[in-house]
Amino acid sequence: MKIFNTLTRKKEEFIPIKPGEVNMYVCGPTVYNYFHIGNGRTFIVFDTVRRYMEYRGYKVNFVQNFTDIDDKMIKKANEEGITVKELGDKFIDEYYKDADALNIERATANPRATEFIDEIIQFVKDLIDKGYAYEVNGDVYFETKKFGQYGKLSGQNLEDLQAGVRIDVDERKKDPMDFAIWKNQKPGEPAWESPWGMGRPGWHIECSCMAYKLLGETIDIHAGGYDLIFPHHENEIAQSECRTGKPFAKYWMHSAFLNINNQKMSKSLNNFFTARDILKKYDSDVIRLFMLSGHYRTQLNFSEELLESTKAGLERLYNAIGNLENLLDEVKEEKIKENEKDYIKKIDEYRDKYIEKMDDDFNTADAIAVIFDMVRDINTNIDADSSKELIKHSLDLIRELGGPLGILQNSVKENLDEEIEKLIEQRQQARKEKNWALADKIRDELKDRGIVLEDTPQGVRWKKVN
């Protein structure tokens, strides 16, 4: 398996530190609001990376943090008249609701920064003791020039970076590129006791600390959106490597932006849709198929038209699933027939192609094209003369290849059953209320869909006629 490593700017063979296991840390949301569909892209991309690695047999320890203390959190909590803790609790709950609805698997751990304050303080202390950080009036700064490799992730050197910054008015810093790892309490801010007085952690230090605590000194994969390369991940590397003297992460992965009108979707530009709003109109299969239809390192433009055409494409896939499910019910022949054996081999080749694409730095765009090709092939070659075994094999294969992408797991038949049961119930209720017009309307609607109802002493039965 090959992964494009931001650190080396090359596609590299993935070799885990411990055979068979992957330790992965993804920077998660700041929990002051509902997340938008741009954040959603990043979460879906790395959920897919994780699922695919599991599909390939790795045990994946997947950590994604919640940033629950920072300027944005404090500002929003003040606006709402609640505590930062209450704000965090609320939007962590809301995060899970939306992430679950997007079929994002729960992480192995979702640490919150405020639950690691003691460990963060210890981390800061260690950096001071080792001479990499200094305190000024209750603030602690990391001294970038002490880390000779500063800039290695973003491909910049310290001199260029220094030349690029505006003259810093903050005279407490020794160098404009130094960054706060502990912040002195300002009036009205939540704070924790520390050797430097009351204060709170900086943003970068939380990820260094929690990755270390939960996954160890050197992790396999560290990931996040493209905007985190600098300064967030650059700073994480500086802190972690100065503290341990070891490489922080072997592979750095960054996903490209979801844009809207060719501009990054973001809260600050106010050009965003929340995941929740989009989920009202489209289910997770549509959203995920759309997000994964481009390579994760390529920017993707969001529009409703694109979602609509993705939905139409997805319907083709689900029609095939529905047909296979119906055939399974109808067909009598159980065992695979002699002349079908070659065909099984042929469709299994789609799996090989799919793996080849996904192994190549998670090329979901091409992997999806393979699924569409396979489904077209199955549509033209499987019918009522096929054996149950072949039909089942095809259905399982579609589901298998959809699995790592988090799509195609629904049953058309079960959904239909549920929907029809619901309509029948509504009709019964209408009849009870002597609302004959509505009852007839529901019966006609079902009839249009080829469903006929039969009133029996045991209740209403339905069957599908073609």
- Residue 278 near ligand AMP by CB under 6 A: no
Which of ligand AMP, Zn ion, none does residue 288 bind to, with CB < 5 to 8 Å depending on kind?
none
Q: Return the ∠ at Cα 46 (arms to 222 and 255), rounded to 5°.
A: 75
Residue 102 or 397: the one with the smaller Cβ distance to ligand AMP is 102
Partner that binds at residue 194, options Zn ion, ligand AMP, none, CB closer than 5 to 8 Å by kind = none
We find the least distance from the C-beta atom of residue 210 to ligand AMP, in angstroms, to be: 15
Phi-psi region of 44 (alpha: psi -120 to 50; beta: other; left: phi over 0): alpha
Looking at the Cβ atoms of 184 and 255, the one nearer to ligand AMP is 255
**Residue 59 and residue 20 in contact, taking contact as beta carbons nearer than 8 Å:** yes
Could you give the residue ranges of the DSSP H alpha helices within 227-274? Answer: 234-244
From the list ligand AMP, Zn ion, none, partner contacted by residue 233 (C-beta under 5 to 8 A by kind): none
Give me the residues that bind Zn ion (CB under 5 A), please: 27, 207
207 binds, among Zn ion, ligand AMP, none (CB under 5 to 8 A by kind): Zn ion
DSSP 55: H
224 lines the binding site for ligand AMP (CB under 6 A):
yes
The verdict on 49 binding ligand AMP (CB under 6 A) reads: no
The reply to whether 264 sits near ligand AMP by the rule CB under 6 A is: yes
Asked if residue 29 binds ligand AMP (CB under 6 A), the reply is: yes
Per partner kind, with CB cut-offs from 5 to 8 A, the member of Zn ion, ligand AMP, none near residue 227 is ligand AMP
The token pair that represents 204 in the structure block: 């970068």
Answer yes or no whether residue 266 interacts with ligand AMP by CB under 6 A.
Answer: yes
For residue 41, what are the contacts with CB-CB under 8 A and spacing of at least 6?
255, 257, 258, 291, 300
27 binds ligand AMP (CB under 6 A): yes
Instruction: Find the shortest distance in angstroms from Cβ 225 to ligand AMP.
Output: 2
Please report whether residue 258 would count as binding ligand AMP according to CB under 6 A: yes
Q: Which two tokens stand for residue 181?
A: 């790892």
Binder of residue 404, out of ligand AMP, Zn ion, none (CB less than 5 to 8 A by kind)? none
x/- binding map, residues 161-190, to ligand AMP, per CB under 6 A?
A: ------------------------------
Of 26-34, 274-282, 327-335, 398-406, which part binds ligand AMP (CB under 6 A)? Answer: 26-34
Smallest Cα–Cα separation from 265: which of 309, 227, 295, 310?
Answer: 227
Interacting span for ligand AMP (CB under 6 A) from 158-166, 263-271, 309-317, 436-444? 263-271
What lies within 8 Å, CB to CB, of 211 at 6+ separation is 25, 63, 219, 222, 236, 240, 248, 249
Q: Is 38 in the site for ligand AMP (CB under 6 A)?
A: yes
Tell me if 257 contacts ligand AMP by CB under 6 A. Answer: yes
Residues 6+ away with beta carbon under 8 Å from 306: 290
Neighbour-count burial for 347-361, b at 16+ CB within 10 Å, e otherwise: beebeebbbebbbbb
Best CA proximity match to 284, nearest among 40, 29, 38, 26? 40
Helix, strand, coil percent content, the chain, rounded in steps of 5 = 50, 15, 30
Of 122, 134, 147, 137, give the one whose Cα is nearest residue 205.
122
Q: Residue 204 in contact with residue 111, Cβ under 8 Å?
A: no
Instruction: Kindly state whether residue 204 participates in binding ligand AMP, applying the rule CB under 6 A.
Output: no
Does residue 225 belong to the site contacting ligand AMP (CB under 6 A)? yes
228 binds ligand AMP (CB under 6 A): yes
Contacted by 265, from ligand AMP, Zn ion, none: CB < 5 to 8 Å by type: ligand AMP
How far is Cα 223 from Cα 14, in angstroms, rounded to an integer? 15
Span near ligand AMP by CB under 6 A; candidates 34-42, 121-129, 135-143, 313-321? 34-42
How far is Cα 24 from Cα 464, in angstroms, rounded to an integer?
Answer: 49
Interface positions with ligand AMP (CB under 6 A): 27, 29-30, 38-39, 41-42, 224-225, 227-228, 257-258, 264-266
